[in-house]
Structure 1
Amino acid sequence: MVTATTVALLSLALGSQAHTTAWTKGMYCRWGWSHEPVVASRVAAIPVWNETYDGWWMNGRCKDYPPPPGDFLEVPANGQFTAELAENSAFTWVSFEGRLRTAWGDGKHHPDNYSVDNLGGARPSSIGCIGSPNLHCKRERDAAGTVFAIAYKNDISNISMEELVVFTVAPHSPYRLLTTYEVPDLPSCPEGGCICVWGWVPNHCGQANVYFHPHRCIVTGARPEARRPVPARPPVWCEGESDKCLRGPKQLVIAHQFEGNNVQISGRQADGLWKSPGYNMKMGFHPGAQHDIFDDPYEFTDLPAPSTPDDLVLAGDEPQAVFEPHVHNELR
C-alpha cells in the first residue's frame, strides 16, 4: 500500500539533486539501468555535462535499455500529445499505478501559480529559485522550454544529429507534471518506428545542464502525402535579432560537453546573465509545432553565422558552475 510515509521516504532519498525528464511509454531507461521493473528510478533524469560523445549521445548508457517490445510514444500528426515531466519514475504513471502522481513532478502539492513569490511553504533553493521540483526557474515564465526531436530511423545506433529534427517546442516548461506538445504534419514512421529525443537546456538557477533523452516513437494519423523533414542544422544564437535566427529545421542543442558541441557561446545575454542556449527565441525556436521543417530555406541563400564564443568575454564570466555528477546507484 502506498502511504504518506512512502512519499516522505522517497522525497528524502531524492534529496536536492533531483532533476527532470519526460516519462513516456516509449522512453529508454524507464527502469533506470535495468531491464526489469524498478519502482523508483531517476536515472533517466540525469543530465549530461562535460561528457564525451558516447556519454551524452542518447543519454549515455540509457541507449542500451530500450522500452519493452511494442511500447511507443505515440505522436499524432497535426495533433498533440502529453508527457509527464518528473524527477523520478515513482511520481509518474510508471510506478505504483500512478498513485503518487500530483500536479507536479516531485509528487508534492504546490500552489497553482507556484513561484519563489508563492512557495506555499516549500523552501527555495540555495540560490533563490524554486527548490522542488528542480525546474531551474523562479516562476513559470522563466522556464526555458523543452522539445522533442524525431529521426526517421528505428536503429538508435545509426542516427546522426542532422537526422534528429526538433518538431515541437513546449514553451515555459518544465513546470507542471503534464506538458503538452503540438505536432506538425509529420509522415508515418518506417516499420519498427522512429527514434524521438526529449531535450531541455535550463536557463540558469543551477548548473548549465543539458538533457538529451531517447524515446521510441511512432507517428499516428499521418497523411499519405506528408513529407519527411529535411536535414537539420545547428541552431544559432539570435536574442533580440530575429533576422539572425536560423530558419527551417533545427538540431537539438549540444553545449557544455567535452566534445561534440554544436553550439558554443560565451558572454552575457540581455538579462545580464551568461548566455543560456535554450529552446526559445534566443535560439530561434518558436513555441508549438515546428511547421518549417519540411523545406530548406537556404537552398539558394546564405546561412546565418554560426554561434561561436564572443571575441570579448566579460571579466569573471563563467558559463557554468562546477558540476558534481549524481551518485548513480542510489535509486537506480
Structure 2
Amino acid sequence: MLSSIVLTLLHLCLVQSVAGHASIWHPSMLGFNVSGETFPYDNRPVSPLSDMTFDQWWFHGHLAFPPHPEDVFELPAGTNVTTQIGCNKGATDFFASSDGGDIRNGNDPCPGSPTSEYHTTGIDDVKGCALAIAYKDDFNATQPEDFTVFSVNQTCVWSRFTEFSVPARMPPCPNGKCICAWFWIHSQDSGGEQNYMNGFQCNITNSVSEVPLAKPEVPRRCGADPDFGKQLPAPGNCTYGAKQPFYWFQAERNNMNEGTYAPPFYQDLYGFLDGPQDDIFQDSYENIPQPGDNQTALPVLKTVVPGQRLAVPDLHLLPSNFLASAEAAAPSPTMFAASSVSAPPMTSSSAQSTAAASSTASFMSSSSAPPSTTTSAASSPTSALSAATVTVTNVVTVVVAIQPEPTAAPIESGSNSTNTVVEFSLPGAGNILAVNDIANPDTLNPATRPKLCTRAPNLLAAQNAPPTKRSLAERLGMGTYTKRDIRSRSLWSFW
C-alpha cells in the first residue's frame, strides 16, 4: 500500500514537472486530444518545438490527428476574437476531455503554477503571439510560405482569455474553410530556444472584401532594440505588408536565422504592431521600397480602413512629426468603404452574435464566459460626440461613453485608485476615434459602435497627442483588459 502511494505521488510530481509551456485550445485544432502517451516523446500541444525535423515541428507533428470537419473556428472580419490559452487543457473550458479534469482558475493560463511555467518573469517580459492564416482548405496542402500573420497580441500569453483583432478587409475562405495557426516565441531570459505552433481550422465570416492577401515576406528586425544598443527604430529596414510567421531554431525549413540570445518576437521589434494587421492585402500599398539599414524612403499606402496609418514600429520614440511629414509627401490613400460591398449571408452562429450586439467571437465553449470584463457604450441621440470616458473598477469594466459636455483635461489619480475616470475633451477624441468616425452616424449606432474600439491601434500619435493620451488610444484597441494588463501597458501612472 505504501509503495502504491509513493508511486502515485511520484507520478503527480512528474505530471507537475511537465505542466509548463502553453498552447491555444479549441476543438478545431490539430492534436486537440493528443496526450503525453500518444507519441514516444512528449508531443502534447503545449510542448515546445526546437531543433526538430520539418515533419516533427510543422503543425506540431499533429497532421495525423485532425479535428472533426465540422469543428471550424469562425473569425468575423472587423471584430475581436477571444481565444483560450493554457498550460493544460484542463485550465480552459474544454476541460471535459482533459486527463486532469477541471482546474480552471479565472483568467490564469497556468493555475497553481508560477509564471516561469509559461516562460516569463512577469508581464513586462511577455513577447506576444500571433494568429496566421493560409487560404487553403487542407492542412496537408499548406506550406510555411502560405501563412500570413493577420493579428497580434503583444501581451500574450499572460492571460487565459486572449483577444485578437481580425482585420476588417479579410476576404472569404475557399469552400468556407481556411487553415489558421497560433504562433508564440517567449523571452530569451525565460527558457530555451523554443517555438510554439498549433494549427486549426478557421473560416472568415462577415467578409466585405474580395481583395486577396499579398504574398507574405520574411519579417525583418527593425524596431528599437535597446538590448543590442539600438535605442531608436529603423523604419526603413522593416518588412511592410503581409509577413510570414517566425520559423526559428529548427533543424530545417527555418526562415529566421537569429541566434540564441536574440530570438524574434511578435512585437514592434519586427514590425508586428499590436492588433489587426490591416496592411496585408494586395492593394494596401502603392509601392514598398526595398528595406535596408540605410533605406530612408517609406512605403506609400494605397487602400486603408478608417484610422489606418503606416505601421511604423515604436513610433512614440521618433520625432512627433515623423509620420506626418512622410504622409504629406505621399498621395492620399483610398478609404475602403465596406458599405459598397454586399456582405455574404451570415451563418446561424454569427447571426446570433450580431443579434446580441457582440463584437467578439470566441474560442470558448457556449456555456462559459470570460471573467467580468465588458465593453459597452452609451449615447444621447440628440447630442454630438464631445468626450470619451474610460472607467476601470474592481470588476475591471471598461466603458466607452459619449458625454453631453466636454471635459478640459484628463482626470489623473494615483496607482491605488480602484475606480478612476479618465476623460478627454473633443480635440483629444481624435486619439481614440478616427476623425471621420466622430462625424459618422455609425458612432451613435449601438450595433456598430463596438467596432470603433478595434480601430484605435491604428491611431497612435495621430494628432501628436501627449504620451498619456497616446498610450490610452493605443491600448483601447484590444477592448477589455485586466488591471495587470493596464500596469504592463504603461497606463498605470494615470489610472
The residue number in structure 1 matching 2:79 is: 79
Q: Following superposition of structure 1 onto structure 2, how do residues 223-238 of structure 1 map, counting pairs within 5 Å?
A: 223=208, 225-238=209-222
Aligned match of 2:108 = 104
TM-score (normalizing by structure 2): 0.50
- The 1:301/1:82 distance shift into structure 2, 3 A limit, reads closer
More helix by share: 2
Tell me the residue number matched to 1:189: 173
Task: Name the residue aligned to 1:199.
Answer: 183
- The aligned counterpart of 2:376 is none
Length, aligned pairs only: 266
Is 1:176 aligned to residue 177 of structure 2?
no
Comparing both chains, which one has the higher relative contact order based on Cα–Cα distances under 8 Å and sequence gaps of 6 or more? 1
Q: Deviations over 1:30-73 (max 9, x none)?
A: 10169x9xxxx97111121011221211111x122111231111
Counterpart Cα distance in 1 of 2:283 and 2:215: 8
Q: Distance in 2 between matches of 1:195 and 1:181?
A: 16
Partner residue, 1:242: 234
1:12-27 correspondence runs (5 A)? 13-16=15-18, 18-27=20-29
1:80 offset after TM fit, Å?
A: 0.9
1:30 aligned partner:
32
1:218 aligns with 2:221: no
Return the alpha-carbon distance in structure 1 between the equivalents of residues 239 and 84 of structure 2. Answer: 30
CA distance 1:135–1:96, shift in 2 (3 Å): same
Change in Cα spacing, 1:73 to 1:242, as seen in structure 2 (3 Å) is farther
Match of 1:287 in 2: 274
CA-CA distance at 1:160 after TM superposition: 2.7
Residue equivalent to 2:135: 152
Structure 1 counterpart of 2:264, one-letter code:
P
Whole-angstrom distance in 1 between the partners of 2:281 and 2:156: 25
Secondary structure of the residue aligned to 1:13 is helix
Q: Residues 117-136 of structure 1, C-alpha deviation per residue, up to 9 Å, x if partnerless?
A: xxxxx66xxxxxx33xx222
Corresponding position of 2:120? 137
**SS at 1:294's partner residue?**
coil
2:257 is matched with: 264
CA contact (8 A) 1:18 1:42 kept: no
Q: SS of the counterpart of 1:295?
A: coil
**What are the superposed Cα offsets for residues 158-200 of structure 1, whole Å, 9 maximum, x if unpaired?**
1233321000001111011110000102121111510001000
Deviations along 1:122-154, one digit per CA (max 9) or x if unpaired, are: 66xxxxxx33xx222111122010110001111
Q: In 2, distance between residues paired with 1:86 and 1:256?
A: 23
**Where does structure 1 lack aligned partners over 5 or more consecutive residues?**
1-8, 109-121, 124-129, 268-273, 307-332
Is the alpha carbon distance of 1:189 and 1:33 closer, same or farther for their aligned partners in structure 2, counting shifts above 3 Å? farther
Work out the CA distance in 1 between the residues paired with 2:205 and 2:132: 16
Distance 1:10 1:92 in 2: 20
Cα separation, 2, equivalents of 1:49 and 1:141: 24
Change (3 A) 1:298 1:78: closer
Call closer, same or farther: CA 1:298–1:160 in 2, change over 3 Å: farther
In structure 2, what is the equivalent of residue 46 of structure 1?
A: 47
Structure 2 letter corresponding to 1:91: A
Do 1:248 and 1:296's aligned partners in 2 also have CA atoms closer than 8 Å? no
What does residue range 117-128 of structure 1 map to in structure 2 within 5 Å?
none
C-alpha root-mean-square deviation of aligned residues, in Å? Answer: 2.7
- For 1:21 and 1:201, locate their aligned partners in 2 and report how far apart those are by CA, in whole Å: 11
Aligned to 2:433: none
Q: What SS does the corresponding residue of 1:157 show, helix, strand or coil?
A: helix
**Alpha-carbon distance in 2 for matches of 1:150, 1:202:** 21
Residues 210 and 255, structure 1, Cα contact 8 Å, conserved in 2: yes
1:227 to partner: Cα distance: 2.0
Q: How far apart are 1:27 and its partner, in Å? A: 0.9
**Is the CA contact (8 Å cut-off) linking 1:63 and 1:214 kept in structure 2?**
no
**Unmatched runs of 5 consecutive residues or more in structure 2:** 1-10, 225-232, 294-495
Q: Distance in 1 between matches of 2:241 and 2:77?
A: 18
Contact 2:212-2:282 within 8 A present in 1 as well: no
Provide the secondary structure at the position in 1 that maps to 2:182.
strand
Identity of aligned residues (%): 28
- Residue 304 of structure 1, CA deviation: 2.0
Deviation track 1:260-286 (CA, whole Å, cap 9, x = no partner) reads: 11011238xxxxxx2120111111111
Aligned letter for 1:217?
C
Structure 2: how far apart are the matches of 1:246 and 1:296? 16
> Is the deviation greater in 23-32 or in 93-102?
93-102
Equivalent residue number for residue 364 of structure 2: none
